[in-house]
Amino acid sequence: MNAPDSGSDAPWDSWRSHDAVQQPDYPDSSAVREVAAKLRRQPPLVFAGEVDDLREWLGAAGRGEAFVLTGGDCAETFAESTADHLRLKIQTLLQMAVVLTYGASMPVVKIGRIAGQYAKPRSKDTETRGGVTLPSYRGDAVNSFEFTAEARTPDPHRLLDTYHHAAATLNLIRAFTKGGYADLRLVHHWNRGFTANPAYARYESLAEEIHRAVKFMEAAGADFDSLREVDLYSSHEALLLEYESAMTRIDSRTGRAYDTSGHFLWVGERTRDLDGAHVELLRRIRNPIGVKLGPTTTPEQMLGLVKRLNPDGQEGRLTFITRMGADRIRDCLPALLEAAKADGRPVTWMTDPMHGNTITSSSGYKTRRFETIMDEVKGFFEAHDDAGTVPGGIHVELTGDDVTEIVGGSEELDEASLASRYETLVDPRLNHQQSLELAFQVAEHLKRSGE
Give the interface with Mn ion as residue ranges (CB under 5 A): 74, 427
Chosen from ligand TRP, Mn ion, none, partner binding at 17 (C-beta under 5 to 8 Å by type): none
When binding is defined by CB under 6 A, the residue of 45, 94, 170, 285 that contacts ligand TRP is: 94
21 and 310 Cβ atoms separated by less than 8 Å: no
Q: Could you give the count of Cα atoms lying within 13 Å of 54 in the half-sphere of its Cβ? A: 30
Strands 257-259 and 248-250: antiparallel
Is residue 187 at the binding interface for ligand TRP, with CB under 6 A as the rule? yes
CA–CA separation, 36 vs 46, rounded Å?
18
When binding is defined by CB under 6 A, the residue of 10, 39, 61, 182 that contacts ligand TRP is: 182
Q: Does the annotation list 63 as a binding residue?
A: no
**Least distance CB 97 / ligand TRP (angstroms):** 4
Q: Does the annotation list 76 as a binding residue?
A: no
Q: Does the annotation list 87 as a binding residue?
A: no
Chosen from ligand TRP, Mn ion, none, partner binding at 172 (C-beta under 5 to 8 Å by type): none
Chosen from ligand TRP, Mn ion, none, partner binding at 427 (C-beta under 5 to 8 Å by type): Mn ion
Binding-site residue total for ligand TRP (CB under 6 A)?
14
Nearer to ligand TRP, 24 or 72 (CB): 72
Q: Does the annotation list 323 as a binding residue?
A: yes
Chosen from Mn ion, ligand TRP, none, partner binding at 34 (C-beta under 5 to 8 Å by type): none
When binding is defined by CB under 6 A, the residue of 58, 61, 97, 321 that contacts ligand TRP is: 97
Is residue 226 at the binding interface for ligand TRP, with CB under 6 A as the rule? yes
Residue 407 DSSP symbol: B
Is residue 70 at the binding interface for ligand TRP, with CB under 6 A as the rule? no
Nearer to ligand TRP, 229 or 327 (CB): 229
Residue 397 DSSP symbol: E
Nearer to Mn ion, 99 or 119 (CB): 119
Nearer to Mn ion, 106 or 426 (CB): 426
351 and 324 Cβ atoms separated by less than 8 Å: no
Is residue 101 at the binding interface for ligand TRP, with CB under 6 A as the rule? yes
CA–CA separation, 53 vs 59, rounded Å?
10
Convert 310-351 into a string of H (helix), E (strand) and C (coil): CCCCCCCCEEEEECCCCCCHHHHHHHHHHHHHHHCCCCEEEE
Q: Does the annotation list 427 as a binding residue?
A: yes
**Least distance CB 319 / ligand TRP (angstroms):** 19
Residues 6+ positions from 46 with CB-CB distance below 8 Å: 170, 234, 260, 261, 262, 263
> Which contacts qualify for 30-35: CB closer than 8 Å, 24 or more apart?
31/156, 31/157, 32/156, 32/242, 34/156, 35/156, 35/157, 35/159, 35/160, 35/242, 35/246
For residue 375, count other CB atoms closer than 10 A to its CB: 18
Chosen from ligand TRP, Mn ion, none, partner binding at 226 (C-beta under 5 to 8 Å by type): ligand TRP
311 and 338 Cβ atoms separated by less than 8 Å: no
CA–CA separation, 17 vs 265, rounded Å?
21
Q: DSSP 3-state assignment of 379?
A: helix
Which residues participate in the annotated binding site for Mn(2+)?
74, 355, 397, 427
Enumerate the known binding-site residues.
74, 113, 269-270, 292, 323, 355, 397, 427
- Residues near ligand TRP (CB under 6 A) are 94, 97-98, 101, 107-108, 182-184, 187, 226-227, 229-230
Q: Which residues are annotated as a binding site for phosphoenolpyruvate?
A: 113, 269-270, 292, 323
